[in-house]
Structure 1
Amino acid sequence: MDLRMLPKANLHLHLTGAMRPSTLAELASRYGLTVPPPLPPGPHPWEAFQSRYDAARAAIRTPEDLRRVVREAIVDARGDGCVWTEIQVDPTSYAPLLGGFEAVVEAALDAMRGEPCGLIVASSWARSGRHALELAELAVRFGAVGFGLSNDERRGQVADFVAAAETAKDLLVVPHGGFYLGAWHVRECVELLGANRLGHALTAMRDPATLELLASRNVAVEVCPASYPPLGAAEYEDLPLGELLDAGIRVALASDDPLVFGADVTDQYEIARAHMGLDVRRLAEIARGSITASAAPEDLRTRTLAEISAWETAAVQSR
């Protein structure tokens, strides 16, 4: 059973975190920067991740650098069996070197043109609601597929971002939630922001009331198993993916930041198989959830769902 051949979508991928290590090394050498060392075995505080991410992001200094990272990420996603990829870009830190928020978004969209890829414009939990509103307006104006909130959710208040989420209500609203804070944070993201998907939602996974809310609102969760042990957030065995599926919640396995955590989407499926005991049918169910929770065009969805069923049938018959 080759999980790389399972058609799927990657719905949680950050721009800098999608960079190839070889590209980072080349750009860092060009600009005289120090390449951050790999994140050693954890657990580590969030800052250990963020400092490495920030150092890598500093290597993206021109629109062409950004376009290159996006193009390579799309190629890598295809090789990973992803028929659709959504890349999150927070323009804030790139803007000073690239010429402003619009220039960042234009470069990303230019690299995605004609490719099976959508742009999610993201703000940060650490920024103000006014800043997020400006980026939400940008996402709508440029035709992004979604608006997100990233970074450490402990640094913001959900209520501050209601106006931004309302502005982006016709897009997918996809905040990170419940990575560190309790299940209440996930509930607020759903009830106040109208979230269509939640990034991580770790603290909600064993809270019956929150799971019922997610199921009733048809909110999907983007789970990135390889990201959690290094940050002390969860071990593989702590992720009850089967129970989430039983509760009627769509699960989309995603890669998050492969540059830092060293795992692509297929690796996440391998973790789910090896450490959570998910069989062929459950893995196919997750792949379907990644497609139906995405912004992929309808014809691509229909075709891919049929291909997933064909993969599942062949995998079951080969056992």
Structure 2
Amino acid sequence: MAQEDINAAGGPLGREIELFDEDSETNSTAGVNSANSLVNTQNVSGLIGAVSSGVTISIAQSVSIPNEILHITSASSSPTISTLDDNDLVFRTRTNDRFIAQVMAQVIEDEGVDSAAVLYINNDFGAALADTFEETFSGTTTATVGYESGQSSYQQALSELYADDPEFIAYAGYPESGTTILNQWNEEGYGGNWVLHTSLLSQDFLTNVGADILNGMYGVRTLPPTGDATSTFEEDYADAYPDADLFSPYSWNSYDALVSYALAVHHAGTTDPNTVKESMRPVSNPEGEGVSYAAVGDGFDLIDDGTAIDYSGPSGEVNYDENGDVASDMVIVQVEDGEFVDQETIPAGDLI
């Protein structure tokens, strides 16, 4: 959709954008090999991907940064990405998990709890979130326990987690293992309460674990975008891909990644990554005349006229900070009567 909109508007610098696809297989080795193929065989000037934070980090360190290729991820959330020595070549349109970890700690503190433990899937996403939570939480972190996915039993991890009887668990993981973990937690009667990462806040997960088990637990997620741009994008997406899942893999964010890149190329007057990176913020951050979804042609025209622009799209504002990150408002939810019910919204400005 983004490619079609960009090219229908004449493309950046009057040239059409061409896309090449490679499969990272959610594997760092495969991801690096795929990225090398795109850079060295297809001679691309920019990369978008991957979904997995670990794969994105490997591609950035092994391909994007050493080859000086501009790299945008629309799905990876690990705080580690913000700290890469990337010469300002790596950007992302999905919110940094640092903000989610901060709010997870706030939830526990607001409950008047002095001790908590962290359970995390043992990858870049989980480990970085665990580190950020421990840095942020004002109480005592009694344990940080990593685990591998796909196990039939997590009793050892649960035993380590509860060795010092924490009052709360902050949990960052994926639904497949999470279902097993929380059912075993319930069966063994460990007690206490949990706050769950956004990756676990789906109706399918709630159904698979059981509303009776999750009742009273908290979760933290990004506030879904709203407004005309979002609703129109949803309608257009449903028409274009009637059998696809709107939210996977981060459709809003992926659209905005490519459009912000195209606008930056037009602003820079070249596809040279080291020049384009200097235009990523000027076309997306305040102050400037607003350019919204499906109006990329207006953005090209305004740039040609020498007018500053501020692009925002279906994912909301695309305001890249000094680390190339965007920020979103956070929502605290709680499971009540089999549903995730919003409790409080934390503005992004309170977390930066």
- TM-score when scaled to structure 1? 0.32
Structure showing the higher strand proportion among its residues: 2
Larger helix fraction of residues: 1
User: Which structure has more RCO (C-alpha within 8 Å, separation ≥ 6)?
Assistant: 1
Which protein has the larger Cα radius of gyration, Structure 1 or Structure 2? Answer: 2
